Chains A and B, each alone.
Chain A
Amino acid sequence: MAVVEQSASRAAPLPATAGLSAWVSTVDHKRIGILYVATSLAFFAIGGIEAMLIRWQLWAPGARVLGPEIFNQLFTMHGTTMVFFVGMPILIGFGNYLVPLMIGARDMAFPRLNAMSYWLFAFGGTLTYASFFAGGAPDVGWFAYAPLTEYAFSRGHSTDYWILGLMTSGIGTLAGAVNLVTTILTFRAPGMTLGKVPLFVWMMLVDGVLLIFAIPPLTAAQIMLLFDRSLGAHFFDTQAGGSAVLWQHMFWFFGHPEVYILALPAFGMISEIVPVFSRKVIFGYESVAAATIAIGFISMGVWAHHMFTVGLSDALDAIFSGVTFLIAVPTGIKVFNWIATLYGGRLRMATPMLFALGFLGMFLMGGLTGIMLASVPIDWQVSDSYFVVAHFHYVLFGGTMFALMAGFYYWFPKATGRMMSERLGRWHFWLMLLGFNLTFFPMHIAGLMGMPRRIYTYSADRGWTVWNQLSTAGATVLGVAFAIFFWNLFLSLRRGKPGGDDPWDAWTLEWATTSPPPPYNFEEIPLVRSRRPLWDLKHPEDPDWMHE
């Protein structure tokens, strides 16, 4: 490692690449990636504060921290923010930064389109939040069920802000997806066949395809809703023959692939990090890639498992339940691949690895409650209860967020040239693990006891109080954990210890260039012969391509 460290000759930024205007006008994929990630982190702080307020209102029965109207706005904005302005853009940001580096390219396929994607996202997010200053934020829940969203029931413009904000950022996301897929298909370095790209790239490819097919139906549905609200159309107007259930179908046709859109890049990060910190190649590369494709296909056919309680028909319920069980198979395959990679490895318990292991445990929990919910009778019992809230936070937070944190600690040195503090990282990890479970595990129990989601208060005689207090206490711990994370980012950026080009002794191409990489990434486009090109370079006596 010492070898590479000495070569950390960080090029002084050229005058034209410094300063605010350079960031605003940039078309460099690395800078756009950083802009994505930084903006998403700001939204994450906002969404986190909203969650805190929700939790404080639920601390005690009959609490008056927030009124019911504000409460409705907060859970709607929390869910919307976390999904659309944190989850998707931060993952696209990592993809933006990493994919060209990992495939040995100089930039994305369409750099200007890339900048447009980012700015549409930033503008869409801001527009949605502007609703707070225009008479109140959206309060219809993150999936905005009709007919509550029709003008008769949702006066004012809060719902229009929701529609237009998400549509704007959605177009940006779509353009970003087109860009990612095109980059991966056409910009790979010579020799890097699709069978040799890092698994993160595989997952971003399938992610991009999912986005391409999932975002437009949402946009179309939102346009219909907009026409209903402002032109007097009748799509979801039940009194004129319209159907509220159609909105649910269309929303979840987007919404369920969306869950995998938020999960796949996280799986990709884990598939990069676990091997490097186990000092082994990933177990079953082909099966991980194949499972990703399988997940992509199946995820398009499970949407109505969000609608078991609507009363579709027994046959439909049975089909969607079956397909939902089916998607657990490729997901399970991946979990086995990661565990098999760990097995017999020389594990290095650095912070990225801690978060990766945390991911494995927490995501597994979420997956198991997911299988419970896939069976229709159980779902009928606990649908729309806190059990569901617990389930999807184990997947989205326990899964995606833990993986993202692993990604932050792992790639921060690449993007900045500096290491994040391991000491603070450990505090962050253990507090997050504790706070996360303290917040969300009790929600399973509250849900089983019958506590519905989206209620702003409850009475003392229901026996839910203690579980809610545990959750609120846990949320406070989570708040501290994330304060440490932000402090760590800030501190490490200013005086983290230099990381060198390849601090983790890794094997993929992003570690083959300097930290941070020059604007053109690679002086020479590398020639790739195996899945671990940097290993080949470091070990000419025993290169991978002799064995693969």
Chain B
Amino acid sequence: MSQAGLPQSISPARRFERHAPTFELGAAHSAQVGMVCFLCSEVAFFGTLVVAYITYIGQSTAGPTPAEALSIPLAVANTICLVASSFTAHLAGTAMHRGGLGGFRGWLAATIALGALFLAGTAVEWRSLIFEHGLTIGRNLFGTTYYTLVGFHAAHVTVGVLLLSLMFCLSATAALSRLRTGGFEIVSWYWHFVDTVWIVVFAVVYVFGR
């Protein structure tokens, strides 16, 4: 345990070689990693809801069944909205990187509108399910699993629309330079993720589950 050579009064903390930090310590980088971690947890969350949905396909002891209640045209229209919104979100990102504030805000507004349209479509769908088909969460297992899965997805879309709107407001102030540091990029990852979940939900609920 020879420790010769250490001056007696200096804590080792102060005696590391001087250097410029070379490793990535910037906020944008860690925010990206943090978002990826969070989205992984969301995969596990929706995975569980989907497993429950699949387990209970065809297990209801009372009607209505998915085939009777679900409207495919409406679901397809909803899907088109959401998929299109992923493209507009991507275009907004490209515009931002090019420095085009106008293009950025335009595509962002389109994304928000498409997301809101999706939510409106869901509202129409639920209205018809509840009042025309009498399907509630307590009606049968289909209602239980349907409202839980689709409802949690819609809640995520709502959060996404709010986040995108926040970005829109920020871009109206002088804070676009802050957006450039990655804020929008990360929100758009979330948005793409929510869209991807919808593809799975669509496949499970409206295609296989019918």
- Quick check: A9 and B11 within 8 Å, CB to CB? yes
B12 A4 Cβ-Cβ under 8 A: yes
Confirm or deny: B98 has a beta carbon within 8 angstroms of a beta carbon on chain A.
Answer: no
A293 CB to closest chain B CB, in angstroms? Answer: 16
Give 18 CB contacts A-B under 8 Å: A6-B8, A109-B30, A186-B24, A186-B30, A208-B37, A220-B49, A224-B148, A231-B137, A234-B144, A239-B61, A240-B62, A243-B56, A246-B52, A250-B51, A522-B13, A523-B13, A524-B13, A538-B12
**Interface mask (A206-235 → B, CB under 8 Å = 1, otherwise 0):** 001000111111011101100100011111
Chain A hits for B16, CB < 8 A: 512, 522, 524-527, 537
Q: Is A423 an interface residue (CB 8 A)?
A: no
Instruction: Given the known inter-chain contacts A3-B8, A185-B33, please indicate yes or no for A250 contacting B48, CB distance below 8 A.
Output: yes
Asked whether any CB of chain A lies closer than 8 Å to the CB of B178, the reply is no
A interface, CB within 8 angstroms of B? 1, 3-4, 6-7, 9, 109-110, 174, 177-179, 181-183, 185-192, 208, 212-217, 219-221, 223-224, 227, 231-235, 239-243, 246, 250, 253, 501-502, 505, 512-514, 522-527, 534, 537-540
Given A188-B23, A538-B6, A540-B5, CB of A224 within 8 Å of CB of B52 = yes
B55 at the interface (CB under 8 A from A): yes
A233 with B14: CB separation less than 8 A: no
Which residues 41-77 of B sit at the A interface, judged by CB distance below 8 A?
41-42, 44-45, 47-49, 51-52, 55-56, 59-62
Interface centre among B6, B10, B23, B47 (most CB of A within 10 A): B23
* Interface pair B138/A7, CB less than 8 Å apart: no
The answer to whether residues A178 and B34 also contact, given A3-B3, A190-B23, A234-B144 and a CB cut-off of 8 A, is: yes
User: A residues within 8 A CB of B21?
Assistant: 189-190, 525
Which B residues lie within 8 Å of A524 (CB)? 13-14, 16, 18
- Chain B residues near A213 (CB-CB < 8 A): 40-41, 44
Q: Is the CB of B12 within 8 A of A243?
A: no
Which residue from chain B places its CB closest to the CB of A184 in the assembled complex?
Answer: B33
The reply to whether A216 and B33 contact each other, CB–CB distance below 8 Å, is no
CA distance in complex: A326, B209 (Å): 36
Report the separation of the CA atoms of residues A364 and B79 in the bound assembly, to the nearest whole angstrom: 54
Is the CB of B128 closer than 8 A to any CB of chain A?
A: no
Which residue of the partner chain B has the closest CB to A214?
B44
Could you list 11 further interchain pairs (A-B, Cβ under 8 angstroms) beyond the known A7-B8, A191-B23, A220-B45?
A: A110-B34, A177-B37, A187-B30, A189-B23, A220-B48, A235-B148, A241-B140, A522-B16, A524-B13, A538-B3, A540-B5
On whether the beta carbons of A223 and B41 are closer than 8 Å, the reply is no
Q: List chain B positions with a Cβ less than 8 A from chain A.
A: 1-3, 5-6, 8-19, 21-25, 29-30, 33-34, 37-38, 40-42, 44-45, 47-49, 51-52, 55-56, 59-62, 137-138, 140-141, 143-145, 147-148
For B59, what are the chain A residues with a Cβ–Cβ distance below 8 Å? 241-243
Query: A9: which B residues are within 8 A, CB to CB?
Result: 11
Which residues of chain A are near B42, meaning CB under 8 Å?
216
Chain B CB within 10 A, most for which of A178, A501, A505, A513: A178
Chain B's closest residue to A279 (CB) is: B1
**Contact of B12 (CB < 8 Å), options: A186, A187, A242, A502:** A502
Bound complex: CA A178 to CA B33 (Å): 9
Do residues A186 and B29 form an inter-chain contact, with CB atoms below 8 A?
Answer: yes
Bound together, the chains give a CA A175 to CA B37 distance in angstroms of 9
Report, nearest first, the 10 A-B pairs whose CB atoms are least far apart. A232-B138, A216-B45, A220-B48, A216-B44, A513-B13, A233-B144, A526-B16, A241-B59, A178-B37, A109-B30
Cβ–Cβ < 8 Å partners of A174 in chain B = 41
B181 to chain A, nearest CB (A): 15
Q: Report the minimal beta-carbon distance from A9 to chain B, rounded to whole angstroms.
A: 7
- Nearest-CB residue, chain B, relative to A110: B34
Most A C-beta atoms less than 10 A away, residue of B42, B44, B62, B138: B44
Q: Does the CB pair A223–B25 fall under 8 Å? A: no
Contacts of B144 in A (CB 8 A): 227, 233-235, 242
Residues of B contacting A177 in the complex (Cβ-Cβ under 8 angstroms): 37, 41
Nearest CB in chain A: distance from B100 CB, A: 30
* Interchain CB contact under 8 A, A233 and B13: no
* Distance of B63 from chain A, by nearest CB (Å): 12
CA distance A506 to B177 in the complex (A): 45
Known: A186-B25, A227-B137, A241-B60. A501 touches B30 (CB 8 A): no
B204 to chain A, nearest CB (A): 15
CB distance from B78 to the nearest CB of A (A): 23
Shortest CB distance B101–A (Å): 29
Is there an interface contact between A219 and B45, defined as CB atoms closer than 8 Å? yes
**A residues in contact with B22, CB < 8 Å:** 190-191
